């Protein structure tokens, strides 16, 4: 079994190495035809840009994406500078430089990878999947009889912030930086998923399709790991199935199929304010222009946030979303599961969490208010702040850096729910409902707690579960996403996630059940 | 303002200190020689197994003590001079107290086996035992085999720990079946099987004769009493129970039995000296409880009660209905009320046993053979609600009532398969009854709360 796992690890690493090597290979040549096509689609009227491109780029072959990208970007910047000086705003190229370069490069690749997309899909994704499964599936036997198997987690450098953890951290952060800020460097990666993209949406893959596909793949493979690890725990199995379903069907397939039918790309489960650009003017315009379905999406999006989300949180707690439906939660509960113990449980971290997560919520709401005001009034902004500027700041700081680079990249260092705990505005909103008006709680089973600390250690949200359990108190916390792991790892059967009457949900106790009845009543009532 | 000194920073001492602080401004000092800060002894096993780091076993962050004005002193109390109300530490320093709380816990039993003090021979109780185990059994190359002597809760935990690092374990159990003094036969048999399922070499009806030393003074093998068999090993775990840790009080004038003798107010024979937790021994056992209860929650309860007394509200230690829990490798165990095994079972106690045909799940319900009064329940692989059983025991309900309301009692995670109807079906067919399962009712569950 160990041998199979080692072979699996080897195969996975080969796949990962080839995937990484793809960054550096491949040739790019912008042919005159392609260039003509590109300038007309983009509606480029800058003669400076066109002539410089024609003299320096068009018809020449470049090796790797880096040199051609930097050339193109310097030509764009140069042309823009001149147009700015001359105040020729119509000629300026407004695209983000690397996105602009991405679009040019995507149509200009040559050579081995492009000609053998399926082969390279197999050598990267294929080997990765096969290797990972060979590594994971023998766990059915190696983990021994079913039950909680956290042996060695703090003795392993992958899960205890050791060198493997730091390596994964660097790799993930690097991946997100490329994905968000340097898409033209990862054109090769998008080629290998072109055939899949074309078969679903009819279009070649963008970097977002690549990300969506990779996301689903990673979740399925690591979901299989969850199924094996928690095979004795039906709550975990159903929950994992649910997040996989919503990710693959709602976040991936339906939006791509909508595109095939020339409808807006929309993820029906992605609720505002997590879906922060739902009320952006381009989004509203697009929805309004898309006829019946567009209008339905517009109404659905509003009803989802204002009615469905709070009502569901009232009945089931925010877990219905965070650990059963949400894509971010889905990745955290599959890819992130090996890192859940790394969340910070200190009171300090809790304080920081409350400032940050509610701060982001306020930021998102203010940005949306400004956006909507501008949309309906036609103004460019409010109080001299441009809508565009606020949106850009939010998109960069929250949408990309917080949710992506830190949210996922930092899994191996700060645990798997950094974004959900400290940043997600939807989680903040649901947390307020969950804390003050909900039937959900984690019930503490009388006086059975032995303060061992497994619950707190494995709480991905950094809740000090033990602090409540050892006092016989139910756990009612805004940040709890109801993953159920505290209950699973408890060796004494102390914790149970349940939805019950609001009355008695929060039960401060000093003296615990089982002790002298008079003493319990005396002390616990004095406190109230 | 009095100076209350607590010897021992386990659950009993720390609970006392916390509750004194809630209710008063007394000066509080906790003395310990084991660790600077309170930690959960029950979690030491998870540190070795890599589930946690030692810091995770500490329920309070390090700033907690200063913030709550609880002084911590790391020192070893050598002598108690109650006439002068003074403690003498091992470095001859002294400390005065107004009230003294002895909460020194237990120490592992050693029964005078030859070789019991060799290197690599250890209990599994103190933080130092954990460090010792890390030294002698870091992996299966340094430790080719470990032998564990004594089939109780600590023994099986130590076995689980060693197995987690792939160290072969031989487990010597004196009884003919694991923990059968406490567990009824069927349950004990299920645990025997489960131990073997984990590839632990379980030897029942087996006693240790001696431990053999190598040339460096470390254990290299054990000899079995019954057969004379020699088993090579590098570590010997002595887990044959614990005894109160009260040696330092021998000539102090405090009345000792096996532990420190106390009354229901947890007072010793000497004024202003109290004892709680594992080291306290009741003059008269309370109900069917033992006079010395080495259980986590009883230590906590004694602390809760004593703190009231020390803050001017004299409160007897009155533990309610017996309950407990444990985990045997992968099988969780809970008990509420009394279900006796071999030892001390009253003749009126009748058992009903249900076991899942494939899984390690079973239930034993004890009831009175004449009145049908529900006496207690053991559950394996099913979690049950403490409040439910506390209530039915207080209300002296009969077994039919308990079975009919079993759905209220279930505490398993959501979506788990429920076995109530199967259990009731078996009971009905064995006892010629016609009990119908009632649907789970939140109203009933919450009516248990005052």
- Per domain, the residue ranges of chain A are 27-110, 152-437, 438-527
Burial of A512 (0-12, 13-18, 19+ CB in 10 A): buried
Q: Report DSSP letters for A389-447, one per residue.
A: HHHHHHIIIIIIIIIIIITTTTHHHH-TTHIIIII-HHHHHHHHHHHHS-SEEEEE-TT
- In B, minimum Cα distance to A447 occurs at B297
The predicted model gives A236-254 an average pLDDT of 97
Task: Kindly state the average pLDDT of the residues B102-116.
Answer: 95
The total number of residues shown for chain B amounts to 450
Rg of chain B over all Cα atoms, to the nearest angstrom = 24
Residue A198 clears pLDDT 90, i.e. is over it: yes
Residue from A234, A519, A527 to probe the interface with B (highest B Cβ count within 10 Å): A519
Percentage of the residues of chain B whose pLDDT score is greater than 70: 99
On the question of pLDDT at A361 being above 60, the answer is yes
Judge: B305–A504 Cβ closer than 8 Å, yes or no.
no
Whether cis (ω within 30° of 0) applies to the bond prior to A46 is no
pLDDT in the model for residue B18: 97
The CATH code of the domain at B323-446 is 3.30.390.30
Q: What topology does CATH give the domain B121-240?
A: FAD/NAD(P)-binding domain (3.50.50)
Q: Are A61 and A28 in contact (CB under 8 A)?
A: yes
Average pLDDT over residues B244-269: 96
ipTM: 0.95
**B residues 248..287 contacting A (CB < 8 A):** none
Is B50 in Cβ contact with A155 (below 8 Å)? yes
Asked if B59 lies within 8 A of A513 by C-beta distance, the reply is no
Q: Which token pair is B238?
A: 């002595």
Sheet containing B219-224: give its strands across: B208-213, B219-224, B230-232
Q: Are B38 and B31 in contact (CB under 8 A)?
A: no
Q: What is the pLDDT confidence band of residue B450, given thresholds at 50, 70 and 90? A: very low
State yes or no: pLDDT of B376 exceeds 60.
yes
Q: B402: which 2 tokens?
A: 């308990």
Closest C-alpha to A493, from B382, B423, B320: B382
Considering only CB atoms, B386 lies closest to which of A153, A448, A454, namely A448
Region A348-358: mean pLDDT is 97
> Touching check for B321 and chain A: CB below 8 Å?
yes
Helices vs. strands in chain A: H and E counts, helices first: 29, 7
User: Does residue B11 belong to the interface with chain A, where contact is any CB pair within 8 Å?
Assistant: yes
Average pLDDT of the residues of chain B: 96
Question: How many C-alpha atoms does A252 have within 13 Å on its Cβ side?
Answer: 23
Q: Has residue A233 got a pLDDT over 60?
A: yes
Q: Which of B165, B330, B415 is opposite residue A234, by nearest beta carbon? A: B415
Q: Which helix (H) or strand (E) holds B21?
A: helix B11-23
Q: What is the spatial distance between Cα B110 and Cα B432, in angstroms, rounded to a whole number?
A: 50
Mention the CATH class of domain B3-107+243-310.
alpha beta
Beta bridge mates, B74: B32
Which residues of chain A are within 8 Å of residue B330 when distances are taken between CB atoms?
145-148, 232
Residue among B54, B56, B164, B412 with most chain A CBs within 10 A, to mutate: B56
Shortest Cα distance from B36 to chain A (angstroms)?
Answer: 18
For residues B329 and B160, is the Cβ–Cβ distance under 8 A? yes
SS3 at position B62: coil
Please, is B230 exposed, middle or buried when counting C-beta atoms within 10 Å of its C-beta (0-12, 13-18, 19+)?
Answer: middle
A414 min Cα distance to partner chain B (Å):
16
**Which of A146, A442, A493, A521 to mutate to test binding with chain B, by most B CBs within 10 Å of its CB?**
A493
Minimal Cα–Cα distance from A144 to chain B, Å?
Answer: 7
Residue A523 C-alpha, separation from nearest chain B C-alpha, in angstroms: 9
Helix (H, G, I), strand (E, B) or coil at B42: helix
Please determine, for residue B263, whether its predicted confidence score (pLDDT) is greater than 60: yes
Confidence of residue A523 (pLDDT cuts 50, 70, 90): confident
Which residues in chain A are contacts of B16 at CB distance < 8 A? none
Contact A343, A462 (CB under 8 A): yes
Query: Which has the closest alpha carbon to A361: A272, A463, A477, A268?
Result: A272
What are the tokens at A429?
A: 């909103």
Residue-wise burial string across A105-133, b where 16 or more C-beta atoms lie within 10 A, e elsewhere:
bbbbbeeebbeebeebbbbbbbbbbbbbb
Cα–Cα distances (Å) from A27 to A61, A182, A188, in that order, read 7, 18, 10
| Domain A438-527, architecture per CATH | 2-Layer Sandwich (3.30)
Of A45-49, A129-133, A509-513, B200-204, the one with minimum mean pLDDT is: A509-513
Report pLDDT for A526: 67
* Mean pLDDT of chain A, nearest integer: 94
Handedness of CA A25, A26, A27, A30 (dihedral sign): negative
Task: Summarize pLDDT for A478-497 with one digit per residue, the tens.
Answer: 999 999 999 999 999 999 99
B196 to chain A, any CB pair closer than 8 A? The answer is no
Q: Is B383 in Cβ contact with A514 (below 8 Å)?
A: no
pLDDT for the residue B322: 96
Q: Which residues of B touch A515 (CB under 8 A)?
A: 301, 304-305, 318-320
Examine the pLDDT at A418 and tell me if it is beyond 50. yes
pLDDT confidence bin for A137, thresholds 50/70/90: very high
Nearest to B415 among A146, A238, A493 (CB): A238
Helix segments in B312-415, DSSP class H: 386-394, 399-404, 406-409
Nearest-by-CA chain A residue for B264: A516
- Edge-to-edge strand ranges of the sheet holding B331-337: B323-328, B331-337, B374-380, B362-368, B349-355
Q: Say whether pLDDT at B408 is over 50.
A: yes
Show residues of chain B in contact with A484, CB under 8 Å.
Answer: 413-414
- Taking an 8 Å cut-off on Cβ atoms, the answer to whether B50 and A153 are in contact is yes
Task: Judge whether B56 is closer than 8 Å to chain A, CB to CB.
Answer: yes
Looking at the complex, report in whole angstroms how far the Cα of residue A226 sits from the nearest Cα belonging to chain B: 17
Cα angle A121, A126, A127; round to 5: 120
Q: Does B418 touch chain A (CB under 8 A)?
A: no
Cβ-Cβ contacts under 8 Å for B411 (sequence gap 6 or more):
A443, A445, A493, A496, B383, B384, B385
Identify the burial level of A308 via C-beta atoms within 10 angstroms of its C-beta, where 0-12 means exposed, 13-18 middle and 19 or more buried.
Answer: middle
Domain boundaries, chain B: 3-107+243-310, 121-240, 323-446
Exposed, middle or buried, A341 (CB in 10 Å: 0-12/13-18/19+)?
Answer: buried
Rounded-to-integer distance, Cα B62 and Cα B55, Å: 10
| Structure-token pair, residue B50 | 């890599």
Residues of chain A contacting residue B197, judged by C-beta atoms under 8 Å apart: 145
CA-wise closest residue to B224 among B173, B181, B176? B173
* Mean pLDDT of the region B401-423: 96
Measure in Å the smallest separation between the Cα of A373 and chain B Cα atoms.
45
Q: B257: which DSSP letter?
A: S
Mean pLDDT over A34-62 rounds to: 91
């Amino acid at each position: 079994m160990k041998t199979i796992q080692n072979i699996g690890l080897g195969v996975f690493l080969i796949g990962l190495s080839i995937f990484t090597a793809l960054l550096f290979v491949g040739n790019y040549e912008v042919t005159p035809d392609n260039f003509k096509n590109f300038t007309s689609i983009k509606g480029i009227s800058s003669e400076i840009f066109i002539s410089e491109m024609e003299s320096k780029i068009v018809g020449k072959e470049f090796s790797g994406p880096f040199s051609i990208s930097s050339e193109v970007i310097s030509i764009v910047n140069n042309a823009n500078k001149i147009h700015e000086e001359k105040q020729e705003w119509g000629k300026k190229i407004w695209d983000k430089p690397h996105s602009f370069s991405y679009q040019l490069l995507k149509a200009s690749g040559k050579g081995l990878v492009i000609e053998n997309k399926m082969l390279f899909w197999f050598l990267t994704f294929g080997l990765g999947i096969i290797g990972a499964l060979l590594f994971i599936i023998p766990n059915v036997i190696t983990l021994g009889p079913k039950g909680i198997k956290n042996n060695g987690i703090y003795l392993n450098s992958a899960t205890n912030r050791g060198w493997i953890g730091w390596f994964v951290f660097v790799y993930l952060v690097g991946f997100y930086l490329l994905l968000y800020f340097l898409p033209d460097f990862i054109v090769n990666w998008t080629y290998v998923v072109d055939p899949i993209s074309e078969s679903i949406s009819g279009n070649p893959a963008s970097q977002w399709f690549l990300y969506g596909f990779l996301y689903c793949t990673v979740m399925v493979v690591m979901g299989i790991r969850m199924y094996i690890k928690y095979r004795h725990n039906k709550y975990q199995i159903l929950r994992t199935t649910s997040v996989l379903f919503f990710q693959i069907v709602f976040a991936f397939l339906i939006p791509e199929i909508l595109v095939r039918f020339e409808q807006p790309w929309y993820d029906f489960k992605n609720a505002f304010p997590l879906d922060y650009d739902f009320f952006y003017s381009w989004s509203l315009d697009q929805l309004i222009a898309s006829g019946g379905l567009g209008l339905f999406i517009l109404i659905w999006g509003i009803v989802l946030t204002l009615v469905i989300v709070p009502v569901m949180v009232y009945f089931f707690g925010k877990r219905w979303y965070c650990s059963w439906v949400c894509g971010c939660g889905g990745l955290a509960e599959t890819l992130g599961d090996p890192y859940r113990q790394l969340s910070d449980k200190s009171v300090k971290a809790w304080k920081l969490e409350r400032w940050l997560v509610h701060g982001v919520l306020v930021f998102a709401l203010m940005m949306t208010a400004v956006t909507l005001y501008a949309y309906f009034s036609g103004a460019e902004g409010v109080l001299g702040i441009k809508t565009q500027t606020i949106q850009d700041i939010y998109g960069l700081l929250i949408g990309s850096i917080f949710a992506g680079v830190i949210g996922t990249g930092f899994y191996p260092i700060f645990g798997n729910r950094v974004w959900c705990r400290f940043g997600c505005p939807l989680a903040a909103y649901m947390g307020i409902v969950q804390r003050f008006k909900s039937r959900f709680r984690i019930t503490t089973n009388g006086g059975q707690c032995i303060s061992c600390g497994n619950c707190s250690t494995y709480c991905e949200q950094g809740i000090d579960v033990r602090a409540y359990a050892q006092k016989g108190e139910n756990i009612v916390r805004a940040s709890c996403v109801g993953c159920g792991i505290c209950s699973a790892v408890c060796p004494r059967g102390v914790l149970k996630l349940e939805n019950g009457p609001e009355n008695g949900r929060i039960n401060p106790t000093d003296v615990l059940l089982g002790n002298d009845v008079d003493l319990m009543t005396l002390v616990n009532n004095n406190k109230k | 303002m009095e100076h209350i000194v607590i010897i021992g920073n386990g659950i009993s001492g720390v609970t006392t200190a916390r509750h004194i602080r809630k209710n008063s401004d007394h000066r509080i000092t906790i003395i310990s020689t084991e660790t600077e800060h309170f930690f959960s002894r029950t979690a030491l096993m998870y540190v070795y197994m890599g589930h946690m780091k030692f810091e995770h076993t500490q329920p309070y962050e390090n700033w907690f003590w200063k913030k709550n004005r609880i002084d911590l002193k790391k020192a070893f109390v050598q002598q108690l001079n109650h006439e002068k109300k003074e403690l003498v530490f091992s470095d001859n320093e002294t400390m005065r107290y107004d009230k003294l709380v002895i909460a020194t816990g237990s120490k592992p039993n050693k029964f005078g086996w030859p070789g019991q003090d060799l290197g690599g021979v250890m209990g599994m109780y103190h933080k130092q035992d954990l460090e010792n185990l890390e030294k002698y059994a870091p992996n299966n190359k340094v430790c080719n085999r470990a032998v564990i002597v004594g089939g109780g809760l600590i023994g099986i935990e130590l076995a689980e720990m060693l197995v987690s690092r792939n160290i072969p374990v031989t487990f010597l159990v004196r009884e003919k079946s694991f923990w059968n003094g406490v567990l009824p036969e069927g349950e004990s048999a299920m645990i025997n099987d489960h131990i073997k399922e984990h590839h632990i070499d379980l030897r029942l009806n087996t006693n240790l004769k001696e431990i053999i030393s190598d040339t460096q003074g470390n254990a290299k093998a054990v000899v079995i009493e019954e057969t004379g068999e020699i088993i090579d090993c590098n570590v010997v775990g002595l887990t044959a129970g614990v005894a109160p840790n009260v040696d330092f009080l021998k000539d102090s004038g405090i009345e000792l039995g096996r532990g420190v003798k106390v009354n229901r107010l947890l007072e010793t024979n000497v004024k202003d000296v109290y004892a709680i937790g594992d080291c306290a021994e009741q003059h008269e056992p309370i109900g069917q409880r033992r006079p010395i209860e080495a259980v986590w929650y009883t230590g906590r309860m004694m602390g809760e009660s004593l703190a009231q007394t020390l803050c001017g509200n004299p409160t007897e230690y009155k533990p309610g209905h017996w309950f407990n829990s444990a985990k045997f490798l992968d099988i969780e165990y809970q008990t509420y009320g009394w279900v006796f095994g071999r030892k001390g079972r009253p003749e009126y106690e009748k058992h009903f046993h249900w076991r899942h045909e494939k899984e390690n799940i079973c239930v034993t319900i004890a009831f009175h053979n004449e009145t049908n009064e529900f006496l207690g329940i053991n559950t394996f692989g099913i979690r049950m609600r403490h409040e439910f059983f506390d209530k039915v025991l207080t209300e002296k309900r009969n077994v039919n009532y308990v079975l009919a309301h079993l759905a209220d009692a279930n505490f398993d995670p959501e979506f788990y398969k429920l076995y109530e109807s199967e259990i009731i079906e078996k009971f009905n067919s064995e006892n010629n009854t016609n009990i119908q399962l009632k649907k789970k009712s939140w109203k009933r569950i919450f009516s248990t709360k005052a």
